[in-house]
Each structure stands twice: as structure tokens, then as C-alpha cells.
Chains A and B, each alone.
Chain A
Amino acid sequence: MVVCNFFLQGRCRYGERCWNEHPRGGGRGGGGGGGQQHSRGEGGFGNRVWVNPSQQKGGSYIQPSYFPSQGRNSWGGGGGGGGSGDGGGRRDNVKSSDFSFSTQNRFASLDASKSFADRGGRGGTAAEDDDSKKLEMIQMDMDVWESSGQWGFSCYSIAKLPLSGFPDLSPEELRLEYYSKSASGDLQTYMNGVNQLLSQWKSRIQELKSMNPNTRAALLAELNGAGPQGSSGGFGGPPEFGSVTSGFGSKDFGSPAPAQTGSFGFPEKRPEFGFTSAPVFGAPFGSSTPQTPSGFGAPAQPSASTFSFASSSTNKPAGSSGFGSASGFSFSSAGSSTGGFGNAGAAAAPAFPQTSGGFGATPGSEAQSGSLFSSESQLTPEELDQFKAKRFTLGQIPLKPPPENLLVLR
């Protein structure tokens, strides 16, 4: 087969579908079909008219409407497909170059075409390749997310379910909280809460960017195996389990989870540990912190902004302090019903109101005398089984903290 010149230059827009050969040490036969649920993004709008002037000079001839590839833009195929329709059409519109059109198509690896994006480590099955591409995509996305200045308190996902550790919070909710706190004169709570959120977001991003083996395993479990636990079908409950299972970045539910349960005491109805994506602030953050419970206490560094939130008056056991503040933030005003986020008032997700009550305001309900772990004697056999199992079973997640010796910390 003829070797594709564009591929050699790193800018073949057909990618997998190119009829010429892309020498890669054994061409890969036909792309692994699409079959992803996302709609394929077109990398830029009107990309067919956009011609990058800088690249133009280099080419001997120009593939109709191409875009500069970083060498791994398998999206080129998709764009080509779309553009070839009227490639002959408008090409004179230089102005369209001013709209941002990044070559980094996030959906590239969803395309399952195993081309450029797949660096090195190719040994193994397609599934592994897919996984590693997904993980790479996550890392890339995290990079972009961090550097772009976009809103950080957003959920994130590359598959059906949102990835754990990223609670969804809209600017309006945050703003409302600010307004109500400043009306009640309690801005400090707001500041603390926001700082808390911010640091948890940062740490979660770091965790995903650095992708150590624990995170990797947890992520893969989530991406592939979230079925049993969190199974799709809908949003509500299931995704929350998704976050419970692997949100911790460590494959062991033992570690951070208990800290949380300890703090919460009794997340009542749904054993979500308050990780619900629910509007309650503190919750998701628990899941986003890195492996060790002490991670909770740690993110206190207000890093960048002067965002601080809650009354960190709560110096409960390290594990809970994170929650203490967070919940303090939401609920410092009148405990349960109001709930700065309105949700607390709602019947659903009472997890937080109570627990925060446990934290910030009320004493007592604070778990078993504020200890992080329970002793084996305190747990029923079923609970012990749960802790010993690799995963929690829906509906049977223990409310008490696990015994310390079951913790496997790496």
C-alpha cells in the first residue's frame, strides 16, 4: 500500500479510515467500531473551512480541510468524514480560525480507533488498550481542566456514569450560599467551605493526573465494573454507589470509608455515606480526598484563593474534620431543614443534615465516641463480612466504621 504522506507528517485526517498505509509496525486492521454512547464530537465548528495557515506551507498539497494534528488526533477521521461532504466548499473563510478549535478532541479515544492516541504499552488485549486510553484521556482532561480556569465544581465523566470525586455544584448554588451567609453575617463559614471544596477538587485532580496504581485500579473498577454496584439505568441512587465504591482512589473500601462513617455516625436511609452527589457540600468531598483518612484533615491549606468556608472549630478526628467544616458550611445555619442548599430541607438525602448535625452542632451523635474505627466486637457478623468483602453490597453497607485491622493502607 502506498504510504500516507500526511500520516508521516502527523496530520492525516482520515486516521484509521485512510486508504493509504500508516506505517506503525504492522497496520491495525480496521478501526474497532464506534459503539460508544457519546455522540461524536466534531472537534471544531465548521472545521471544514478552517485551514491552519502555519501548517499550510509545509504540505505539498492539502487534504481538503485538515487540521493540525498533534500526531495523535485520530479524530481526523471523524472530521474528515464530516468535512469531506463539502470539502470543496467554502475554504476561504479565514475568520473562522479565530474560533477555538483545539486539536485535542476529548472524544478521540472513545472512538476506539486505536491509532495515534495509543502510545507505547500496546501489549495485550483490546480491552486493556481501551482502558489505558481511557485513563490517558482522563489524565489529559484533568490537565486541561486545571489549566483552563474553567469551573471546577463540576462532575466529570467519560462514560455513562460520572467519575467519583467530583461533586456537581453550580455557580448559582455557590452564589446563593454566599448571599445567605453574608446576610446572616457568617461569611467565614462560606469561605471555609469553599476553600475546602477547592482543595478537595485540586487533590482529586492531582490524583487523577498522577494516576498511581491505586487510583488506576479504582478508576478501572469504576469504569468497567460499576455495573453491579452502581448500575446505570438512571441517575439517582446508583451513581452514588459508584462514588462510594471507588471514590477513594484506593481499592480498599476500608480506608477512607470508615473514616466517613465514623464521622457520620448514621447516614441513615441510604448507605451513601452522604456521598450523594446531592447538593450537600461536604459530602462529595469526602470521597474526593486521597487514600488516607488524614487526607481529610490535610486539605485545609487554603492554597490559592481566600476562599475559606466552614467553622473549622470542629477538630474531631482527622477523618471527620473535613466533613466537619464542609457540613458546617452548609448547615451552620439552623441545622437540618434550611440547608443552604435547599436540599437539606428536602426529604431525600437527609444524610447530611443529620450528620452535620453530628459534626458541627450536636455532640453525641458523633459516631461511636468519635473514634474512627470500631473494634471487631462492636460489629455484627454481617458487617464484618461486608468489610472483609472486596466491595460493599448494596443495601448492606455497614453504618459503623470498620475495624482498624481490616484497613489496608498502601
Chain B
Amino acid sequence: MSLFGTASSFGTGGTGVFGTTTTDSHNPMKDVEVTSPPDDSISCLAFSPPTMPGNFLIAGSWANDVRCWEVQDNGQTVPKAQQMHTGPVLDVCWSDDGSKVFTASCDKTAKMWDLNSNQAMQIAQHDGPIKAIHWIKAPNYSCVMTGSWDKTLKFWDTRSPTPMMSLQMPERCYCADVVYPMAVVATAERGLIVYQLENQPSEFRRIDSPLKHQHRCVAIFKDKQNKPTGFALGSIEGRVAIHYINPPNPAKDNFTFKCHRSNGTNTTTPQDIYAVNAIAFHPVHGTLATVGSDGRFSFWDKDARTKLKTSEQLDQPITACCFNHNGNIFAYASSYDWSKGHEYYNPQKKNYIFLRNAAEELKPRNKK
């Protein structure tokens, strides 16, 4: 029996497990598979910033490890290095110069991994698992921001064991995103706080959540002048809200849309509703990608308010996604996200990271 409702058979191998090798649903989109994927669910993906030549992909997983691959132009992926934590890794991010990777884990610490020397040292400590980690590069300071389930948001100068600043949040941090000078944190109990990072981080505004259920992922988008202007917030209820910080007409500009649900047009049978696990914005086009527990990813154009594409269904939920710095590669990870409880957890099941060419499919739809 499943945890909630009668779920489709996830994780049990889909339809034909043995003997039908023709329709292999683990990669229905026929995307490039990354070699040596982690042994347990992938919680986060991050591509290297533009300051570094080439594309390097970092993935954190529930197997306590963080892995790094080099993605070559021909699509080949070469495993480069790996670091371990003592607990599952929940988030990773790059420094702006591409030399360091910051990893946040359930072991309540965050580490800074220097890729050149392949050394990792601890730079942060919380009282609870750290769920979100981001690098902030401001004109007058740089630091690492960590959001944890201990309800605090801390900012760390990597050289010091005490945080530069610690902000109290109303609830556990569930997800965060940073695009200087704006940071958005979504917490438990539908909390939503925007911080401004100029000069020093401070709370800017607390926003009433546009969604009814638990927040799951958030991503900031920018306007045509490349300034952060709003964010997309995903929930467990198959819905994403697009919210502008200072829109000219909030009632019309902010909206929500449903996604990652089954039964599109058939209104008689109850829909299956899946959580939106991650949202990522294309760095060039400004269109967004969402990945969900249903094992699909979708591309959307928020300005034209249309869907651009939905993938075929993979046999596992998609837990993380990200674009590389120029938007040519879309990476997504197929692994179990615990959306149906422990019964559907199969430690033997292989986890995948797929790379897809994103240059064409994410072009905005032209408004006529």
C-alpha cells in the first residue's frame, strides 16, 4: 500500500521489469546519461559558473557523497572527484570564480571543497540539517548563506568558525535561492521571506504565500535588465506560483499554474497530484523548467504563460535539475524522492543523471 492514496507503481520497476527491454522507461527521453551516478538519491545538482572554462557538474546525494564530473562538449561525462560528508548532502553550490564548491548536509555542517587541491574543510555549523546553501557575492562582501531546519539563516565568512550574521526564521528552511541583491527563502508552514543583500543581508519582506500547501522549491528570475525581479515557488501540490516583488499590477501579474498532474483533460477520475521537486530558470531565455515526482520535466514560458514542452514519464521521480551557465545543457536527476514513503524506496534501484540539449526547446514562445 502506498503512503498517500493509491499511487501509480513507482519504484517497483514500472510495467515490464524483466523481459521487456524494448521500452526502457528509465530514460524515455533518450538523453545522455552521466557515468558513475551516485548510489542513492540525488538531492541537488549544480553546474559550474561561466568564470570557469568548460562545464563541471556537481551532484549531492543521500549516499553522503558529493561528486564532480566534467561534461565535455561531445556529451561525454568524466567523473573527476568526490567528497564525503557524514550525513546525506542536501544542497550544493559553486563560488563565483568556480574554484570552490560548497556542500550542505544533514550532518549539520557545510563544507567548502577546493577543487584544485581536492580538500574539503568545514565552514559552517548549525543545530540542525542544513537544507540550502548559496554563495553571495556582493561588491563589499562575499559569504556563504546557509538555511537550516533549525530555523536560522546564517551567513559565513569561510575563514571564521562563527557566522557573520544569523537571522532567525519563523520556521525550518525548506528551500532558498539567491540572485544578488535578492534572496528568497521558503520555509515550513508556508513561510516566505525575501531578503535584500545589499550592504548586509536583512529581511526585506515577508510574503503571504500564494500557495496552499507545503513549499518545496523556489527559484528567482530576472527581468530584461538582468535584475532579479521575482521568483517561482513550487509546492507539493503540483502547482507553481510566479510572484513578482514589485509588480505594477499584482493581481494580474502574479499567477499560479498547475503542473505535474495526471489526467489532463479527464475530469471524471481524480487527478494524481505530484510535488514539484525543483525549478530552474534558463539563464539566457528566462524560461523555466520544473521537475516533479511524477517523473516528468516540463518547460514553461512564464511571460507567455504557456507550456513549452513536457517530457515522457520516467520510471522514477525527478529530484533535481539545473541549467549550465549558458543554457545549453539541462541536467536532471532521476531518483526516488520519498514522496510515497519508505515502501517505495529501493536501495538497489539505479539512480540517473541525464543531460539534455536545452538550447532549442527553451526558447520563449513568441507572443503574437
Contacts and interface: CB of A to CB of B under 8 A. Distances in A.
Interface in B254-299: 254-259, 261-265, 267, 270-275, 298
A305 B3 CA distance: 6
Nearest to A89: B368
A271 to B, nearest CB: 18
Contact of A148 (B129, B272, B340, B343): B272
A28 interface: no
B75 to A, nearest CB: 28
Interface residues of B, number: 85
Instruction: Decide if the interface of chain B is mainly helix, strand, loop or mixed.
Output: loop
Contact of B306 (A45, A147, A277, A279): A45
Contacts, number: 251
Interface in A156-181: 156-158, 160, 162, 168-176, 178-179
Interface in B200-257: 206, 208-210, 212-214, 216, 235-239, 241, 243, 250-252, 254-257
A42 B270 contact: no
Nearest to A237: B170
Interface in B126-142: 127-129, 131
A343 B236 contact: no
Q: Which 8 pairs from chain A and chain B are nearest by CB?
A: A342-B128, A235-B170, A149-B5, A39-B254, A46-B306, A154-B214, A147-B270, A100-B261
Given A150-B236, A171-B339, A235-B187, 7 more contacts: A40-B255, A46-B305, A149-B2, A149-B8, A169-B188, A236-B170, A343-B172
Instruction: Decide if the interface of chain A is mainly helix, strand, loop or mixed.
Output: loop
A390 interface: no
A102 B4 contact: no
A178 B343 CA distance: 11
B108 interface: yes
A229 B72 CA distance: 59
A34 B307 CA distance: 27
Interface stretch (B30-38, B95-103, B146-154): B146-154
A96 B306 contact: yes
B259 A45 contact: yes
Contact of B174 (A153, A170, A305, A347): A170
A89 B306 CA distance: 12
A100 B264 contact: yes
A40 B236 CA distance: 19
Contacts of A305: 1-3, 341, 343
Given A141-B212, A179-B62, A304-B2, A101 B150 contact: no
A235 B25 CA distance: 43
A149 B342 contact: no
A324 interface: no
B337 interface: yes
Interface string A93-104: 000111111111
A235 B189 contact: yes
A318 interface: no
- Count chain A CB atoms within 10 A of each CB in B4, B127, B187 and give the residue with the most: B4
Contacts of B337: 171
Interface of A: 34, 37-46, 48-49, 52, 54, 68, 70, 81-82, 86, 89-90, 96-104, 106-107, 141, 143-158, 160, 162, 168-176, 178-179, 190, 194, 198, 234-236, 239, 277-279, 304-307, 339, 341-343, 345-348
A151 B149 contact: no
B5 A101 contact: no
A342 B150 contact: yes
Contacts of A52: 265
6 contacts: A40-B254, A45-B259, A107-B256, A168-B188, A175-B88, A342-B127
B149 A341 contact: yes
Nearest to A98: B264
A41 B256 contact: yes
A40 B252 CA distance: 8
Contacts of A343: 128, 149-151, 172
Nearest to A150: B273
B289 to A, nearest CB: 14
A22 to B, nearest CB: 22
Nearest to A159: B208
A81 B255 CA distance: 13
B190 to A, nearest CB: 6
B27 interface: no
B129 A342 contact: yes
